[in-house]
Structure 1
């Protein structure tokens, strides 16, 4: 382990962590990057060379040349009596794959053995109370990062630090607030409840709304949470998360690992329409566990007692080319579909069943099936005429019909466990799924104004600015952002607002879920607004449509049948003169998924017209 001396900025190598008393920094990396190990090493070399030539420099000259974050972190730690500090951005040589892999596999231990962890929240000011709803603290991007999950849980003491390097509070003192923000139990946060006693599904759910820059880090950042180690292979993509689940399955006897994605709330009624995902046992991302926090692991004995089926031995698992081989209690629903009972329940003591499907002659079962009402499955001669619903998980209360338990038997099964790793073609045109970024990525989406569009408006004499109500536009938020494009030319101002509509027309079911408002204030209002902030416009952007035509979903198609929407708004002149026609085109460049927000492009054209 390489530490930073807080007095001098020199590196200190340590082989035995028990022999050193150190603090550790947790932070969200800046978008422009951080000062690296080699950057700091170059500063140290320059300072050493200057001193060797006789130049008199202060003892902390290295820190004076370091970034403000490194300098202030060292100063804060030193003020609290710590001579050594670890910072991930500059204490790991990331050009060495061996050193990087060792650091990633050791990071949970390093944070856990630190005397204290300073969590630096660069988007939270010292003056604001962290506790109220919608506080800067609650909305800090630090809570959305994948790596900061283990950095929050592993240390016994975490002190939250503001952008001005003032103490905001501790993990213990703010544990109720942190639990509300993260979903992590207070008892886990303050180390009263051992982490290993929490089910795999619940631990996964803590990471469901967090994101990482590299896809592989979705898995690597969770290794310490589950007490597993594995080689790091950047370039493997989402295969890393598959390997993580294989390691968890090998070391942790917890079938809640399979309890991900949407669940059916009862064994009998048909629930709302749900589309099929990869028909596999393993998830592709922590995002798949967003609804799995309520699942607990139970023993196979407890599962048998809850279901009223005979006791069966604990399962073992073997990875084979055909899938995951194991023994599970099954009840056949049809020649090709069965329920596999999991040793897993929710807070109402309801056991979870996994729907398995196998085509005739196939070696392995797939997960999930399009089924009709299960109450009719065994008895109704018209069963084949009832509507189908895609089901992956099924809740099985003890009041389930006797045929479920009475027909159960232990069977050896092969289950397809790995999703297809080939890229899925992007759907275009009418085939685009009717899902919104609100459903897909925690309310985050991004609108951009192409450079060519800005240049064209500039040639017409307009000054152009694009603002958003949120600073981090590609990270999850508790509320959707709103945007304003402001065009200024002389005494003319045009404001174009895009954002969610309070009427929620369509229920956020379309990718065109946004609404717009175009306005041009009077000359007097223009003069006032030119020198004031547009924040008030952002806060109320598209707050209500008042006109159904404001919804992007109601706009017309673009020429040529492309995947976009088009509208024209004509603004009448407030004085004698020509009116303005504002043409807007919104294209969906990426519809969003569980890992990345939706991306839109906005094209604007303004022309003078005669009414």
Structure 2
């Protein structure tokens, strides 16, 4: 990928002496340069807007007062600090963009990385850090500052050469160059990138995505828009499109690069540790999970791949993908004609109506398919596990594939990736499959869940749809707003059907996992039971609403997880007298309570209503209200 082309988007700046707005044709037209503010928006005091700054300027024009005396304290102090740096102009996102003008807002978002990179000085204001803080100490307020966790501040910390960090009282805490080691520990961004001794674009797409994995944004679209500069792409901003923005971002990345680390995310099967032959189960006919598709749903998916690198050197595409490849060859050096897989090539992919047209080296093992991504992580080459898509109505001449296999021993029993050894000339999985035959092939891989199916599997319906019970409707209800809140707070809820028996034919496992605190993963098993159920005269035993419900909750590793479908009717049935189930982990922090309440009219007063609302609490706090601090201190 290349740097951003020169753009002519105008920029509005505040004068540091009077806080008056002025428009410049481009950042390069600002004689003497400008400062730029990086901050987190105040949650208690409303940030001043463009319209308010204009209004203050108009009033002061009549009164003869200095507008800077009437702006917010944050804006006034930022102007004063910029003046101390000898700069006459400053850009502040809250008041230098007319957000009422959608075209101007879109241009500003597309240009923002460049604006930060062009600034003489970036002033990073940390409102939650006291002036006497020691940033380098292990428990410093600097390390816990909100600034490190916000999505937009990722590019604001990387793009400018000079970043000065200021505390709540506007005292200087240090510079980016002073604190580069601490910043690397906090953010995972390599020190070389922060100090500009290595260009961010020399790092793989997966690595750059991983830098954003722990960051939060208010609007779902901004997850994508805040990464455009860092990934060297531009695209229209469409607020209201939701998570589709991140999908469009990945499509734009595919147009710009052959870096296949874009697909290196999700659960990994380490074939050096797990027996590959024993691990691979029958490939599922149907998987309701976004990890079954090629493109990620969030930067959080890349959190474990901050060291995934793309093997071919894209700057010299004819070089081999072997050790020493980054050493420049003399112009007269003899370059081998063939690569490790026959023809000399790098991966290619493009969007089509059939999904992503995907040209990669491919391994065929019996009925299994593995695409060699030409990516390395921890010294191991990565393969993408593929299975043929069961979607109906496809072109038989263009079979489509989905991603992932169910694997014993993999995280959550499911893997997208597998290790292939450390030698591209001798790829292998496990001990049995050695000397693998690898050939370049063109495949079509489903990039995301089809729109129709995604609509059918809206959050409130996912748990029901995963089971496809035509006779017996799912007797539990999970509110869509709760799932939405869980997602925004970093939680993932996955429904897994599990085999029952004649007396308990309808169990399902709900897995709750937080993207950061994976050790807190817990499971809720809910199901039905026909043993000892009294029904009205003539009512069939399997009629919806006339079976008992039961529930269990446990953490990974608990004894209850060994036999998830087996329940005790005396202790696990949900009854009017027993609507709450509780479990505790081994650390006193992991405490989960699952409670039920009736929803809708009862089919029979002697029985529970046919639909039951599931509510979850953890550590005594509603799960939907959990934040990182609660997780650490509950």
TM above 0.5, yes or no, is yes
1:17 equivalenced with 2:30 (yes/no): no
1:153-302 equivalent positions in 2, closer than 5 A: 153-266=158-271, 268-269=274-275, 277-299=290-312, 302=320
Cα separation, partners in 2 of 1:19 and 1:552, compared to 1, 3 Å: closer
**Residue pair 1:329, 1:411 contacting (<8 A) in 2 also:** yes
Out of 143, 148, 155, the residue aligned to residue 148 of structure 2 is 143
Cross-structure match for 2:40: 28
Structure 1: gaps spanning 5 or more residues: 52-56, 375-386, 446-473, 481-504, 511-543, 568-583, 601-611
**Residue pair 1:304, 1:310 contacting (<8 A) in 2 also:** no
**Residue pair 1:261, 1:288 contacting (<8 A) in 2 also:** yes
Cα separation, partners in 2 of 1:566 and 1:256, compared to 1, 3 Å: closer
In structure 1, the residue corresponding to 2:94 is in which secondary structure?
helix
Out of 98, 112, 123, the residue aligned to residue 118 of structure 1 is 123
Cross-structure match for 1:529: none
The offset of 1:222, in angstroms, is 0.5
Aligned-residue CA RMSD in angstroms?
4.3
In structure 2, the residue corresponding to 1:365 is in which secondary structure?
strand
Cross-structure match for 2:403: 367
Cα separation, partners in 2 of 1:509 and 1:71, compared to 1, 3 Å: farther
1:41 equivalenced with 2:54 (yes/no): yes
1:146-545 equivalent positions in 2, closer than 5 A: 146-266=151-271, 268-269=274-275, 277-299=290-312, 302-303=320-321, 309-335=341-367, 337-348=368-379, 350-359=380-389, 361=396, 363-371=399-407, 389-397=413-421, 398=423, 400=428, 403=433, 405-420=435-450, 422=454, 424-426=458-460, 506=555
Cα separation, partners in 2 of 1:181 and 1:440, compared to 1, 3 Å: farther
Q: Deviations over 1:506-538 (max 9, x none)?
A: 35999xxxxxxxxxxxxxxxxxxxxxxxxxxxx
CA distance in 2, matches of 1:440, 1:509: 25
The offset of 1:304, in angstroms, is 7.6
CA distance in 1, matches of 2:592, 2:183: 38
Cα separation, partners in 2 of 1:272 and 1:558, compared to 1, 3 Å: farther
In structure 2, the residue corresponding to 1:204 is in which secondary structure?
helix
CA distance in 1, matches of 2:268, 2:375: 13
Structure 2: gaps spanning 5 or more residues: 1-10, 282-286, 326-338, 391-395, 464-474, 493-513, 521-553, 560-583, 599-607
In structure 2, the residue corresponding to 1:92 is in which secondary structure?
coil
The offset of 1:546, in angstroms, is 10
1:572-587 equivalent positions in 2, closer than 5 A: none
**Residue pair 1:118, 1:161 contacting (<8 A) in 2 also:** yes
CA distance in 2, matches of 1:246, 1:554: 41
**Residue pair 1:271, 1:389 contacting (<8 A) in 2 also:** no
* TM-score (normalizing by structure 1): 0.68
Cross-structure match for 1:134: 139
Cα separation, partners in 2 of 1:431 and 1:181, compared to 1, 3 Å: farther
**Residue pair 1:144, 1:475 contacting (<8 A) in 2 also:** no
In structure 1, the residue corresponding to 2:357 is in which secondary structure?
strand
The offset of 1:4, in angstroms, is 0.2
CA distance in 1, matches of 2:517, 2:83: 35
**Residue pair 2:293, 2:448 contacting (<8 A) in 1 also:** yes
**Residue pair 2:17, 2:83 contacting (<8 A) in 1 also:** yes
Cα separation, partners in 2 of 1:281 and 1:509, compared to 1, 3 Å: farther
* TM-score (normalizing by structure 2): 0.66
CA distance in 2, matches of 1:228, 1:547: 45
CA distance in 2, matches of 1:25, 1:213: 19
The total of aligned residue pairs comes to 471
The offset of 1:442, in angstroms, is 8.3
CA distance in 2, matches of 1:413, 1:345: 22
Cross-structure match for 1:535: none
